[in-house]
Structure 1
Amino acid sequence: MHTSYHMAPLTPHDTLSENHFRVPLMTPLLSRLVTAWSLPVLAGLIPALACPAAEPTETPHTDRAVAQIRQQAAHLAKGRRLISADFFRSLATANFVQSRLSSLNYAIRAAAKEPLPTNVEESLKWNAGICGNHVAAFLEIAQRIGLRARPVEFYFRGTRPEKNHSHICVEVYYAKRWRLFDVTWGTCFRKPDDALDNLIDIETLRTNPQVREWAVTNQSDLWYQQWTASGLDPLEYLDHARMDILRGRQGTIRLEAINRQPDEATYQPRHQPNFFGRNRADKDYGAVTVQLESPPAKAMVLQLEVLGFAGTGTLTVTSGSQRLSIPFTELSAGKTLSLSFESPVSKQVVRLDTRPDPPGGVAYVVFRTIRLSDR
């Protein structure tokens, strides 16, 4: 199925990937660092999120990685018929990516103002990457070796939008369940004395108080050592209270206002996706809903600054019992869409999403800002 893309010219402040969502990078808060020696390295992760380019036509480093991972997985699986072969393929892929794409190398390159990897091939060539690069590499390799995998994104909401940060893992489907792999920290989760391949999914992890005891983690990794020495928690996604999760890009992203007046509020993603809707027609992927938190009680007008859109369908805006629907044919890239509610939203959250046509297809909107006001 052909998908039409409509994009406005981007400014230097627009950070879109080829999938039109902000690449989740580890973005720690400098105020949380407790050791001065780590400050210059971690500071390299704070600037605006990078925009990965499309993969090059020739990928010799990725090709070699795939061949080596196939050999390693096959070797691990010898004589172990009771254990899922996909477990060994997943483990070999995660181990290879973490050991080759060094987060410390990435930070060193950033501090030296050297080029940073913008795709999987460059990450493997330069032996550098952080969590967004790790997951991109894992998913690319997984596709080539026949693993069913998808990203799991964690968006931590700070006390203010500028304190937001994010992380990303992957989950692999085998033996009738999804299994979580945190590639960056070389971590998977298994209950004590359970089968080697019986790893746990993120939903189970988030509902069990013993979850940290189940972590199988490569604590010898240099970046892990530096992270923990700085007072940061590599596994904060297990029990963080203010966090949004996207599994296969499906879930709700809650936006806090970056600018608020008595009768108006402006919302803009900060280390969060800047799109809503469904941007991949795949059974393992879903749609993102954007939810505007604490809107002004008297707000009746929504202004959506549209950067672009793709697919066919309808844009929908809901607040309580009020629902507005706009066909994609009425959208214009680079223009601001203005919509009016019949009555004030009365502090009820406002949600933006899409309805693809046909169902299950692609329909998403990329935006810069959303403004709610009384006029």
Structure 2
Amino acid sequence: MRAEPGLFEESRFMSQKFTGPSGCRIPVCLVIGLAAWVVVADGHAFETNPATPFTDQAVEHIRRQAEHMARGNSKVAPEFFSSLAAANYVQSRLSSLNYSILGSSKQKLPTNVEECLKKKAGICGNHVATFLEISRRLGLRARPVEFYFHGTDPGKNHSHICAEVFYGGRWRLFDITWGTYFAKPQGAPDDLADVVGLRANRDRRSWAITNQSDLWYQQWKASGLDPLEYLDDQKMDILRGRRGTIHLRVSGREGGREEFRPVHQPNFFGRNQLDRDFGPLVIRLEKPAGMATALHLDVLGKAGRGSLLVTVGKQRYMVPFDDIKSGKTLTTKFTRPIGRQPVTLQAIPEKPGGIAYVVFRTITLETR
């Protein structure tokens, strides 16, 4: 069993800082993935299982609360009480303010669920990772919902992440960071909206039930930031259970080369979870300016078995995973210049629904 270099690039939690009216620097939630630390053996990923006393305690506390609330409330889905109890617990225990204090004082930031609960600190990525782990232990069906906002240039990109819980035949959205869920008007207490239905309704903001007493929420509002900007932004990329497309724009040009580097975006493509509620991520290179004849993929790592598929219009290029080497640059030559057509990269698993993904640093289009 060996560690595959680069596979942990996608699991880091990040923050970008904005200066508010008061002059203080405010970290804005940015998360690149939610993968646990893993090792790879024969192309397959396995989670490690360290002791988790703080997580164990949280799960039992939430379980007792949910069971207590469910008594005498037979018309309300028990999953609603469990989800809400978990969301409240995480938001109240994992303080974004504490995370900011740790960062500004140069102390070690938490990097996993157990550390977050122990240090009582976290931002949106930590909140959702903790919520999902607790949900899993409670037997809830839950998945992340990631929002990737495109700035005026890639350096101004930012992101946020929420979670959805499935019950009553539908998904329900919870924003753990802000203690927010979205109740449908005149609906039952547990009749919550999912992200798609929510964004399609013009009255969506009035559905939000938010913990506005949270100090971090107050800091955001005072700084002119919008905690719920994902309700309205039409240019962002949305991943539900890691399923969706990430659009990369040119981050640099030099000579006949255009570089596409993920900035506050996932740096992998493919499927990295076997869970039925998770799907594959596709990378799409937007608006290449030149007549590129080759693509260079700077590979950090890979997992699973399958093939890389590069698509340009009707052109399709397949590369077996065996030909993709960690720490090396993979070059795909096009049979003819691509023009200004978008380029997509996908990882096609050997078996449908299987694990197959590639972690990368940059993608470069070259004109010869």
Corresponding residue for residue 187 of structure 1: 180
How many pairs were matched up?
359
Corresponding residue for residue 67 of structure 2: 74
Change over 3 Å in CA distance of 1:291–1:151 after alignment to 2:
same
Check if 1:34 corresponds to 2:38: no
Corresponding residue for residue 21 of structure 1: 10
Q: CA deviation at 1:299?
A: 0.5
Corresponding residue for residue 294 of structure 2: 301
Kept in 1: contact 2:249–2:287 (CA 8 A):
yes
Among all aligned residue pairs of Structure 1 and Structure 2, give the percentage whose two residues are the same amino acid. 54
Kept in 1: contact 2:30–2:159 (CA 8 A):
no
Check if 1:7 corresponds to 2:11: no
Question: Map of 1:260-279 to 2, 5 A cutoff?
Answer: 260-261=253-254, 263-279=256-272
Q: Distance in 2 between matches of 1:52 and 1:116?
A: 16
Q: Distance in 1 between matches of 2:101 and 2:28?
A: 8
Q: Which runs of 5 or more structure 2 residues have no equivalent in the other structure? A: 39-47
Kept in 2: contact 1:295–1:348 (CA 8 A):
yes
Structure 1 residues 315-373: Cα deviation after superposition (integer angstroms, max 9, x where no partner) = 00001011100010111111100111111111000000011011100000000010001
Corresponding residue for residue 256 of structure 1: 249
Displaced runs of 4 or more, over 3 A: 4-8, 22-28, 43-56
Pairing partner for 1:93 from 77, 86, 92: 86
Taking structure 1 as the reference length, the TM-score comes to 0.91
Kept in 1: contact 2:13–2:126 (CA 8 A):
no
What secondary structure, in the 3-state scheme, does the structure 1 residue paired with 2:16 have?
A: coil
Check if 1:371 corresponds to 2:360: no
Q: CA deviation at 1:105?
A: 0.6
Q: Distance in 1 between matches of 2:183 and 2:35?
A: 34
Corresponding residue for residue 308 of structure 2: 315
Q: Distance in 1 between matches of 2:287 and 2:328?
A: 25
Change over 3 Å in CA distance of 1:22–1:260 after alignment to 2:
farther
Structure 1 residues 220-243: Cα deviation after superposition (integer angstroms, max 9, x where no partner) = 001000011111000001111220
Question: Map of 1:276-295 to 2, 5 A cutoff?
Answer: 276-295=269-288
Pairing partner for 1:210 from 199, 203, 217: 203
Kept in 2: contact 1:5–1:311 (CA 8 A):
no
Q: Distance in 1 between matches of 2:273 and 2:301?
A: 16
Change over 3 Å in CA distance of 1:47–1:85 after alignment to 2:
closer
Q: Distance in 2 between matches of 1:261 and 1:220?
A: 49
Change over 3 Å in CA distance of 1:48–1:91 after alignment to 2:
closer
Kept in 2: contact 1:6–1:308 (CA 8 A):
no
Kept in 2: contact 1:25–1:166 (CA 8 A):
no
Check if 1:234 corresponds to 2:227: yes
Deviates more, 1:204-213 or 1:146-155: 204-213
Q: Structure 1: which amino acid aligns with 2:284? A: Q
Q: Structure 1: which amino acid aligns with 2:16? A: T
Pairing partner for 1:341 from 334, 337, 350: 334
Deviates more, 1:115-124 or 1:56-65: 56-65
Q: Structure 2: which amino acid aligns with 1:227? A: W
CA RMSD of aligned residues (A): 2.2
Check if 1:84 corresponds to 2:77: yes
Corresponding residue for residue 135 of structure 2: 142
Corresponding residue for residue 171 of structure 1: 164
Taking structure 2 as the reference length, the TM-score comes to 0.92
Deviates more, 1:45-54 or 1:347-356: 45-54
